[in-house]
Amino acid sequence: MHTQSDESLYHQMRSGDEQALEVLYEKYERLLFSFAHRFTNNDRLSEEVIQEVWMKIWNGRVDFNTDKGKFSSWILTITRNAALDCLRREKRQPTIEVEERDGGYDEPVERTVIQRETASEVRDAVSELKPDQQELIELVYFTGLTQQQISDQLNLPLGTVKTRIRSAIQALRKLLDGRER
């Protein structure tokens, strides 16, 4: 079952298969939690975000099809939107340090070799970007600021922001592609 594609598990789940839901949940639990945590900086809020994501998916309030690209990118987009909504609700800035709950944690599971390599490769690639490009990636992906706010923050004309963001994204893509070869 674990070798099934995400897309086929998704369709099984949408027809009411709880087992498929569990497999997909397990597959994405760590990735989504770390991702949500990057926005909320808080365990409880991250859990709420992930719950919201699976509620939406299970209840068909969002729908995946292959026109939307890969399932992994799609579910991360849903998670990111839910995390940004959560931040807006909480009116928290993602950079504020919030004390963590003193609760228990599951035993860490070793990441696969591929995941570890990906993680370090992307981190290396990001670190090779120019500092202003790193900042743009951070602003676009993790703060949810509007283009106007980014423009104000960086003191750049509105039109220039999009162009700069695009070149930062393309530069990162290029660095990543270079590593894959």
Partner 1 sequence: MEERCHDLIDYFNGTLSATDRDAFEAHLATCDDCKQAFQEMQDLMLPIAESLPERPIPTGMKSRILGEVLGSANEPMKPASAEPTRKETPQVSELESARTQKQKKRAVPLGWLMSIAAALLLSLGANAYFLSQDESSPTEEFAMDEVKGMGNFESTASIKGSSMIFTKDEKEYMLVQLKDLPPLKEGELYQLWTIQGDTPRANGVIEKDGEAAAVFPLKGDGTIDAVAITVEPEPDLEKPTGEVVASVAL
70-129 binders of partner 1 (CB under 8 A): 70, 72-73, 76-77, 80-81, 84-85, 90, 98-106, 108, 111, 115, 118-123, 126
Reading the block at residue 134, the tokens are 């790193």
Among 59, 66, 93, 95, binds partner 1 (CB under 8 A): 59
Q: Can you say whether residue 91 is alpha, beta or left, with left for phi > 0 and alpha for psi between -120 and 50 degrees?
A: left
Binding to partner 1 by residue 27, rule CB under 8 A?
no
**What gap in Å lies between CA 32 and CA 22, rounded to an integer?**
14
* Rounded least distance, CB 158 to partner 1, Å: 6
Q: Lay out the site mask for partner 1 across 140-159 (x = CB under 8 A, - = otherwise).
A: xx--xxxx--x-------xx
Among 2, 5, 60, 96, binds partner 1 (CB under 8 A): 60
**Range 109-115, long-range pairs (CB < 8 A, 24+ positions):** 109/30, 111/30
Please, which of residues 161-180 interact with partner 1 by CB under 8 A? 161-162, 165-166, 169-170, 172-173, 176
* Rounded least distance, CB 174 to partner 1, Å: 11
Contact 161, 145 (CB under 8 A): no
Q: Residue 15, CB half-sphere, CA atoms under 13 Å: how many?
A: 5
**What gap in Å lies between CA 53 and CA 83, rounded to an integer?**
9
State the helix-helix crossing angle for 6-14 and 18-40, rounded to 10 degrees. 110
Measured at the alpha carbon of residue 117, what is the angle toward residues 9 and 144, in degrees to the nearest 5?
70
Among 30, 62, 134, 156, binds partner 1 (CB under 8 A): 30
- The smaller minimum CB distance to partner 1, of residues 7 and 58, is found at 58
* Rounded least distance, CB 152 to partner 1, Å: 13
* Rounded least distance, CB 109 to partner 1, Å: 9
- The smaller minimum CB distance to partner 1, of residues 55 and 131, is found at 55
**What gap in Å lies between CA 175 and CA 121, rounded to an integer?**
9
